[in-house]
Structures are given as structure tokens and as C-alpha cells.
Structure 1
Amino acid sequence: MTDKKFIQDSIVKQGILPLFYNQSTEVSIAITQKLYEAGIRVIEYTNRGEAAIANFRALKKLDLPGLMLGIGTIKSADEAEAFIDAGADFLISPLVSHKVAAVVHKHNLLWIPGCMTPTEIHEAQELGATFVKLFPANVLGQGFVSAVKELFPGLLMMPTGGVEMDQENISGWFKAGVSSVGMGSKLITKEIIDNKAYDQLYTETLRALQMVASAR
């Protein structure tokens, strides 16, 4: 199991956290391999369907040295335990759950809860979170980050759901004070998946990493 501070630092260093789910094990493997090939070392697979746990186990068996694979959309203690048993390196939730917090602390894992209000961010911190997901980012906006950042010194923030594949948008988030950005369907698009255009995903991932580097 990889040290949680190392994983947190790796997400910040990478600057972008790709996240996805696909019902097909084959497609999930192809996406993961292509992200890795483009230089990605931390990925969030999301618990969004019946095949999630089986696919996650398959991804964990891939020979990709240094890959840290987390699981997202964890809303209950049972889900947390199941995916930790399957080898999750870290957990991400769309909300703040005391029960999930208790499980991750028991296993000493990095947990990134989803927050939408200052109260939720405060509650997440009280539960030991050092990194929060701002979700949904398209509703909150960059102004929200600027407004609340100074209330929570030292807390890392990552917007997810509404980060665009656009230099101005990505730069705006980092200027507002985020530590990383979560990117799902804007990076791993329906078109790429439908057409199995994995070389395009490779190119887009390189472009996203370059935009993050420019934003800093």
C-alpha cells in the first residue's frame, strides 16, 4: 500500500486527476494503459456501475509500475471496505460521510471527500481530510474557490465536474487556488470511447498535462 502523503503529493504534482468508469473491462484496461503511457501515474476509477469492482480488480493486476489507482464515488462504509479489499490506493467520495471517514482512517488511506459548502469543507477537515474535491465544479465556479480558500489555510482543493479542456479555464482554476483538477468526460470523451480512439486519448492527455504546466 502506497503512503497516503506520497499519493496526495503525486496528485498535486501531476496537477490533473483523470477519472472514468466503463462497463467493459477491455475498454477500462485500454484507457488506463493509454493514460499511463502519456505519463499519468494517479488515476481515479469510479464506482458507477455493476462491473466496477470486477474491473477495478482487473486494473490492479496490470503491470504498470508506479501506478496509483484510487476508487471514486464511494458513499458507504461497505463500498469503502470492498474496494480497499480490492486494493484501492486511495478513496474519493462525492460527499462527506462519517462512516466512510471511519473506514479510511482504520486503514490509514488518503480520502478525498466531495464538498459544496464551507460547512461541508469544515466538516471534512474535522474528519481528518487534508484534500477535498469541490463538486460539482461547474455549479460552484472559480469564484467560489477564491472566496473560501483563505478560510481553510493549508487545505488542498480539487474541482471536479466542469473543468474544461481549455487553457483559460484550467488556468482560471489554478489562479483561484486549486491544487489539482479532476477531469472525466472532458478528457476521456464519449467519442474517444465509442471510436476506441485511444491514440487520441494519449494526445489529449499530453495536452491536458501541458495546459496544467502552463497554468502554474
Structure 2
Amino acid sequence: MNPNPVNPTSSVLARLRAVLAASPVIAVVRAPRIPDAVALCAALAEGGINLTEFTYTTPDVTTHLRRAAREGRRVGVGTVLTAEQAEEAIAAGASFLVTPGLRPDVARAAHAARVPVVLGALSPTEVAQAVDLGAAAVKIFPARAFGPGYFKDLRGPYPDVPLVASGGVNAGNAAEFLAQGALAVCAGTDVVAPDVVAAGDWAEITRRAKVFTQACAVGGR
């Protein structure tokens, strides 16, 4: 049986890949409370991060997503585990979906709606499976498990697969992940610490985003 009966078009794949190539940092927000999703996205953009991934670990995540998407922010949803969540997120305005691991049902729902999906993987076998499922990019998670050098190793058998580093990426190592072959990196608590987000300290979010993006720029991106 074909695990991926709905194949994504090349334009769907290329759309997110082009965005990541131009703006290689995704802010991954895992906070118990987001007082103003629009202000959060604006603070991140001011610091140079134009892609925001809200997650299903945040209560009422689709409300935040809908508000940010209405204001024209480029936002997606992560920790998507089911087709139902995928459809709900897409209806709320998600421009991309992210999974922590291989989720064929999520991939099918994304492809049916012509929304790019980033599938999580770790081993070379899982990377191949993510590609077969039509991933626009493959998120290597947790990236800290093997470090930046692992991306160089994966580039050998998979030179054309867009890889995203997630989990344990910070301002001190982000540039190395990019230099070793990651197309993009995920900025988590190093930029969007839950307590800072919950407090609505947008100036601090902008400051942290600038530090992170400047560190990436020093690495040649």
C-alpha cells in the first residue's frame, strides 16, 4: 500500500524551501501562556526572525495562530500528531506544519490542503521515509543528540534534502549547524523562553532574537 497517496506538488515543496533559504531561523514557541501572539511575532520579526512556529503544547494554540495569521505573520504549528490537528491548524491559518517524528496521516492532510509539512526524523532511514512522505524539509530532532557534524554526515547520502536542526540549538552553536549542512535552525528557549513570553516582555524577545540571528550571520548565513 502506498503510504502517501496524495503527493505534494513541486510548488508546495519549493515554497517553504525558498522561505527557509532566505530566512533560516524558526522561532519555536512552547509557552503555557501567550498574552499577545501578534506582538510576539512582531517582536521576533524586529529581531530578524520572520518564521514563528506555535505548538500544540500551548493551550488554545489555534486562537493564537489565527490572530497572528490574520495580521499577515508567517506562522505555522508544531507538535502536530494527528490529521485532525493538521486540519484544525490549517483552517486557523497555518502556512506550514511541523511534526516531532514521522506522521503519515499529518503528511497526507497537509498535502491535501497544499500546505508544506516539515517531518521530524533522526536516523538516515527516517530521513528517507520523511522524503518518501513528501516532506518539504526534514527536521532532525533532537539535533543535540549528535551535534552539527551529524548534518555533514547526512549530506553525503542526502545532498539535496533540506534539513532543519531542532532541539538544543542556541546562539552559541546555530552557526555551526548551518555551516555543516542545515538549511535552517530552530530557536527555542534561547529566544522564546516560556517565562519571558508569558510575561509579555517583547523588548527582551527582540533582544534575544537579534543575538541569535547575528550569531547565524557570523556563521556566513
TM-score computed with the length of structure 1 as normaliser: 0.88
Match for residue 105 of structure 1 among 111, 123, 127: 111
Following superposition, the deviation at residue 201 of structure 1 comes to 1.5
Number of positions where the alignment pairs a residue of Structure 1 with one of Structure 2: 210
RMSD over aligned CA atoms reads 2.0
Structure 2 unaligned residues grouped into runs of 5+: 1-10
Match of 1:176 among 174, 180, 185: 180
- Which runs of structure 2 are paired with 1:144-163 in the superposition (5 Å)? 144-163=150-169
Structure 1, unmatched stretches of 5+, are: none
Match of 1:70 among 62, 72, 76: 76
TM-score, with structure 2 as normaliser: 0.87
Letter in 2 for 1:56: L
Task: Name the structure 2 match of 1:20.
Answer: 29
Higher RCO (CA 8 Å, separation ≥ 6 residues): 2
Distance in 2, Cα, partners of 1:54 & 1:4: 26
CA-CA distance at 1:96 after TM superposition:
0.9
Identity %: 23
Cα deviation code 1:11-58 (max 9, x no counterpart) = 221121111033434243332221123343221111113311222222
Residue 190 of structure 1, CA deviation: 3.9
Does residue 44 of structure 2 align to residue 44 of structure 1? no
> Could you report, residue by residue, the CA deviation over 1:148-198 in whole angstroms, capped at 9, with x for unpaired residues?
2211121011111101222xx122212211111101111112453355332
Distance across 2 between alignment mates of 1:173 and 1:25: 29
**Preserved CA contact (<8 Å) 2:169 2:187:** yes
> Which protein has the bigger helix share?
1
Alignment partner for residue 147 of structure 2, among 141, 144, 147? 141
More divergent stretch after superposition (51-60 vs 85-94): 51-60
Moved over 4 A (4+): none
CA separation of 1:171/1:9 partners in 2, compared to 1, >3 Å: closer, same or farther?
same
